[in-house]
Structure 1
Amino acid sequence: MSSEDADPYPGPEIGAADLTDDTIVRRRVDRPQGGWRGAVFAASRGLLNPGVGPEEHAFRDQVRRIRRPLGSAHQIGITSINGGVGKTTVAACVGLVLAEHRGDRVVALDASQNAGTLADRLTGDTSTTVRDMLGEIDSLTSLADVSRFTSLAGRLQVLASEQDPAMSEGMDRAEYERVCEVLRRFYNVVITDSGSGLVHSAVGGTLALADSLVIVGSPTADGATRVNKTLDWLLVRGPAERVADAMLVLTCDRASKHIDTERVRRHFEARCRAVVEVPFDPHLATGALIDMARVRPATLDAFRAIAAHLADRFDATPVGVGAEMVAVDGV
C-alpha cells in the first residue's frame, strides 16, 4: 500500500485482549437492566428508554475488567498480619465474584496452619483437605484427579485446609509450593487464603508465589498500625515495586466515627496500588455459610471492585509467547 493510500487518521492500536463482545459488537440500543430505568424500559416494552444510569455503567465496567483474558495461571495471595480482620471472608467473596463472572477455572486454597474456615464459609465440606491431596500429589495428572479433593461453591472450587489441630502445622513451604504447582496446571486463577502472620513457612510461600498480593486490615488505630508494619516488613524483604503494587482491603466491621477513615485511606493510597473499603454486612458478620444473594448491594460492589483491580493485572499473553519472541530476536 502506498503512502497515499494510508489512513491519515489511524485509530489507536487495539490489542487482542481488547477484542471482546463488549468492545466490538455494535448494539442498537443500550438497554438498562436494573433499577427504575430498567423497570420503565420493561413496562413500556422498549418504547421508553431512559438510558443506562451511572451505577449500571460502573457495574458493567467492573464486570468487563473482571473478565479480562488470561494467558497463564495467575496466583492471588490474601494475607494479614493478625487474625480477626476478615481475611477469610475477603478470600471467599473475591473467589465467588471471580468465579461467577469469568468463564475459566477458579480455585480457592485454604493454606491456614490452624484449621482454617474457608471451606466452612463456602461449602461446609471439609471431608477432604489439602493434606489428603498431598498424600496423592504425585499421581494427580488431570483436573478430575484434583477435583476429588475440592468442594464446589457455585462455580468456585475450594480446597480445605487440614482440620486436625495436631496436623495443621504439617504443610510447610515446600509442600505448599507443590500444591500450587499442581493447581496452576489445571486452574486459571488460584486464590490463597494464607494463615495469619507473616513468618510461618507456608505464608512465606504464599508471598513468594503470588502474582497479586492483597493485604487485609481494618480502619482503626491498631489496624492501621498493623497494616503499616506489614508493608514495612514486606519492603525489607522484597522489592519496593511489590509493595506499591499490592492491594489493601479495609474491612469496616470495627469502624468508628472517631476514626478519620478518609485520612487512613489517603495514607495507604500513597503506599499501595489500590485501597478498597468493605462495609459492615450483617450476613457476613454471622460467620456462617456465605450466601451472596443475602449480601448487601454495597458490599457486593466492594468485592467486585477488588476483583476488578486484581483482574487489571491479568496477563493475556499466552504461555511461551514471550520466550519464543526472545529466541527469535536472539537468532
Structure 2
Amino acid sequence: MTDHGEGQAGPDEITHDSLMRRTAERPRRGWRKVLYEATGGRYNPGISEDEAGRNVLLRRIGRQLPGAHRIAVTSIKGGIGKTTVTACLGLTLAEHRGDRVVALDANPDAGTLADRLTGETSITVRQMLEKIDDIDSLTEMSRYTSLAGRLQVLASDQDPAMSEGFNREEYTRISTVLSRFCNILLTDSGTGLVHSAMEGTLELADTVVVVGAPTVDGASRAGKTLDWLAAHGHREHAENAIVVLSQDRASHEVDAEKIHDHFAQRCRAVHSVPSDPHLAAGGRIDLDLLREPTREAFLRIAASVSDDFATR
C-alpha cells in the first residue's frame, strides 16, 4: 500500500466526471435541438452559450436544501409588483426543483396571490388556523392549499376585517406547519412593514426579496425598505437582500443603470424583470405565456435565492 506523504498528490478521485469521456451536451433548445433530433442524435452541434448559461442557473436552482427555507417578499408600500414577483418566483422554484414549494399570502388587505395563481380563494389561512392542531400530514395540510402546477398556494382572508386578526403568533404557527411538510416557503408579506404578521415573517425569514422599480419613487421605496430593515434589527437581512426591479413601471428619463449600481452596493444581488404583457394584464399567471427574457429573469432571481441554500 503506497503512502502519499504530505504535499504529494494522490491518485485522481474515481467519479463519473473523472472517468467518462467528454461529449458535447445534448441541446434542448433552438435550432441545435432540431438538428440533433433530425439526425437521430448522430450529429450533435453542442449547446449554445445562452443554453450553457441557463444550465448553470438551473444547477444553482437545484441546490440541495438541508432543511426548510423561508423567503419573505416585501416592500414598504404596495402597488410595486410584490405579488407578481412572489407568484413567478414560486412557480419557477416549483418547476425546477424536485421538492415541495408553498406560497403563503400574508397580506392583511385581502391579498390577490391566490387569484393570480389558482383562482381558489374559498379556503384561506383562517380555515387552516382553525384546524391547525389537527394537521399532522402533508395530506391534511394540502386540504387548505390549491395548486398552480407544482406550487402549493395558501390564500389570505378575503374579508379585510377578518384578516386584520392574522398576527405575529398566528403567522408563526402557520409557518411552522407549512415548513414541516414543504421545503421552501415563500411569503407575500402584504402592504407595509409594520403590521403584526410582518414581524413574524422577518423573524423567521432566511432570505428577503425587496421589490422596487427603476423609477424615482420605485427606487425610493426599495431603498426605504432596506433602511427600515437595517434600523429595526434586521441589518443582516438588508445586507443579504435580493432587490428585484420591475420594469412594468419605467421611464427613459431615469438612469436605470445608476439605480442598479446603487442597490448593487447595498445588498447581495439586484435583478431587473422586463415589462411583459402577460404580467401587465393582471390575470392568472402562466410561466409558459411569459416572454423568454421574463422567464430568464426569474431564473436568475431563483438562482440568487438558491445560493442561500449552500450557506445553511
Give the TM bin, normalised by the shorter chain: over 0.9
Distance 1:159 1:27, change over 3 A: farther
Q: Percent identity?
A: 55
| One of 52, 59, 63 as aligned partner of 2:54 | 59
Q: Greater shift after overlay, 198-207 or 230-239?
A: 230-239
1:280 and 2:275 matched = yes
1:86-137 deviation line (CA, Å, top 9, x unaligned): 1001000110011111111110000000110000010000110000000011
- The residue type equivalent to 1:8 in the other structure is Q
Contact 2:215 2:249 (8 Å CA) reproduced: yes
2:159 alignment counterpart: 164
1:313 and 2:308 matched = yes
Q: Tell me the CA shift for residue 48 of structure 1.
A: 3.1
Question: Could you tell me how far apart the structure 2 residues matched to 1:234 and 1:12 are?
Answer: 48
1:201 alignment counterpart: 196
TM-score normalised by the chain length of structure 1: 0.88
Q: Tell me the CA shift for residue 180 of structure 1.
A: 0.4
| One of 35, 40, 43 as aligned partner of 1:45 | 40
1:241 alignment counterpart: 236
Question: Could you tell me how far apart the structure 1 residues matched to 2:20 and 2:124 are?
Answer: 44
| One of 294, 301, 306 as aligned partner of 1:299 | 294
Distance 1:30 1:315, change over 3 A: closer
Contact 2:239 2:268 (8 Å CA) reproduced: yes
Q: Tell me the CA shift for residue 171 of structure 1.
A: 0.3
2:112 alignment counterpart: 117
Contact 2:145 2:152 (8 Å CA) reproduced: yes
- The residue type equivalent to 1:232 in the other structure is D
1:324 alignment counterpart: none
- Counterparts in 2 of 1:217-228, with a 5 A limit? 217-228=212-223
Q: Greater shift after overlay, 227-236 or 153-162?
A: 227-236
Q: Tell me the CA shift for residue 47 of structure 1.
A: 3.5
TM-score normalised by the chain length of structure 2: 0.94
1:8 and 2:8 matched = yes
- The residue type equivalent to 2:8 in the other structure is P
1:129 and 2:131 matched = no
Contact 2:106 2:197 (8 Å CA) reproduced: yes
Q: What secondary structure, in the 3-state scheme, does the structure 2 residue paired with 1:312 have?
A: helix
| One of 254, 257, 262 as aligned partner of 1:259 | 254
2:182 alignment counterpart: 187
Q: What secondary structure, in the 3-state scheme, does the structure 1 residue paired with 2:176 have?
A: helix
Residues paired across the two proteins, number: 312
| One of 87, 95, 103 as aligned partner of 1:100 | 95
Question: Could you tell me how far apart the structure 1 residues matched to 2:239 and 2:11 are?
Answer: 33
Question: Could you tell me how far apart the structure 2 residues matched to 1:22 and 1:97 are?
Answer: 28
Aligned-pair Cα RMSD in Å: 2.4
- The residue type equivalent to 2:125 in the other structure is V
Q: Tell me the CA shift for residue 23 of structure 1.
A: 10
Distance 1:12 1:85, change over 3 A: farther
Q: Tell me the CA shift for residue 5 of structure 1.
A: 7.0
What residue ranges of structure 1 are gaps of 5+ in the alignment? 14-18, 318-331
Question: Could you tell me how far apart the structure 2 residues matched to 1:200 and 1:293 are?
Answer: 35
Contact 1:69 1:316 (8 Å CA) reproduced: no
What residue ranges of structure 2 are gaps of 5+ in the alignment? none
- The residue type equivalent to 1:216 in the other structure is V
1:230 and 2:225 matched = yes
Question: Could you tell me how far apart the structure 2 residues matched to 1:144 and 1:23 are?
Answer: 43
- The residue type equivalent to 2:256 in the other structure is T
Contact 1:70 1:316 (8 Å CA) reproduced: no
Distance 1:138 1:252, change over 3 A: same
- The residue type equivalent to 1:160 in the other structure is A
Contact 1:68 1:316 (8 Å CA) reproduced: no
1:89 alignment counterpart: 84
- The residue type equivalent to 1:261 in the other structure is A
Question: Could you tell me how far apart the structure 1 residues matched to 2:109 and 2:58 are?
Answer: 34
Q: Tell me the CA shift for residue 261 of structure 1.
A: 0.4
Q: What secondary structure, in the 3-state scheme, does the structure 1 residue paired with 2:309 have?
A: coil
Contact 2:24 2:47 (8 Å CA) reproduced: no
Question: Could you tell me how far apart the structure 1 residues matched to 2:181 and 2:45 are?
Answer: 45
Q: Tell me the CA shift for residue 293 of structure 1.
A: 1.1
